[in-house]
Structure formats: structure tokens, C-alpha cells
Structure 1
Amino acid sequence: MIEAIMKIHTTSSSVTFECGDAAMIGNGEFRASSGKVNGFILYADTLRYENGAKLSRDEQEHLKRLYQRFALDHEDFIDWDI
């Protein structure tokens, strides 16, 4: 099981979580408030490994917990729809 998120990369429609030897990719869109971008909405049903395999519900929840730990030391910008 993945133990930590090392880096996160985003584009206008996707986010990639680098976790050591594995990477997970999900689709979404930027979130805005008062005319300014203030985050990214991640659609959990699009989460998949780099090889295309979908994440299970448990793996999605685990990734979300890892993200919450990651966000303690980094700016929080993802809204999860899980």
C-alpha cells in the first residue's frame, strides 16, 4: 500500500499524485470563489493508477488520508468528492 504522497502535479483538468514508485491520476476542474481560482475539485470516480487500473473505494479513501497529511505541510487546494 502507498505510504506517502511525494509530489502533486495539476493541469487544468487533471491531478497526478506521485507516491514513490507509483502515480495516481484523477480528473477534475478548478474551483473559484469571488472570481479567483482557489482550488481543484477532484472526481473520485476518475482516480486511476498510471497504468490505467482504477482505484478501489478503499484505495481512494487511503489516498485522501495521505493527501490530508500532505496538506499539513503544503497549501491545501483539492476538494474531494468522496
Structure 2
Amino acid sequence: MPDTKTPSLHAMSVALTEILELLGEDRIARLTLLRGGTVTIEPVHLSEGAALARDLGLSETFIQRLAVPTVADWCGAVSGLECHVRALTGSDE
């Protein structure tokens, strides 16, 4: 029996289309879409990650201090998906 709490692949693709239209494909290097409603976005330039996160309305961030260079994972809900955006820390602060 399908899990009705998680979005369908069709609903996820519709939400992903909305995200791409908002951000512009040229700003995105990689997208990872996971069944269950999670999308991870890596910008072409990590220094622009915080700007992409702001454009999506994301406000929560997790600093990955062991990564070199230090990166942030901005997260929140966008169009019904759990969304994560990678960014360099301190680049837009």
C-alpha cells in the first residue's frame, strides 16, 4: 500500500519544476531528488548558495565545519519538498 504522507514522484516533479523556474537552471550545478520528498541543490558557485537559499525562503542552516572549505546546508520546505541548498559559509554574511 502506498504511503500517503510522502509526495508522489509526479508531485515532486511538479514542485521541482517550480523550483527550477524560480532559481533558473543556469545557477544550479546538481540536483538530487529522493523519493519521500527531499531535494538537494548544489549551485554552480558555492558562494552563491546563500542567495539561492534566500530566493527559496530557506532560513535554517547547519554549518559543516569538518568540510574543507567549510560549507553550510540551508534547509526548509519549498513547494511541499524538504529542500537543502549547499553554500560556502560567510560568503553572504
Task: State which structure, 1 or 2, has the greater radius of gyration over its C-alpha atoms.
Answer: 2
TM-score, structure 1 normalization: 0.40
Q: Name the structure, 1 or 2, with higher relative contact order (CA <8 Å, separation 6+).
A: 2
Higher helix share: 2
TM, length-normalised to structure 2: 0.37
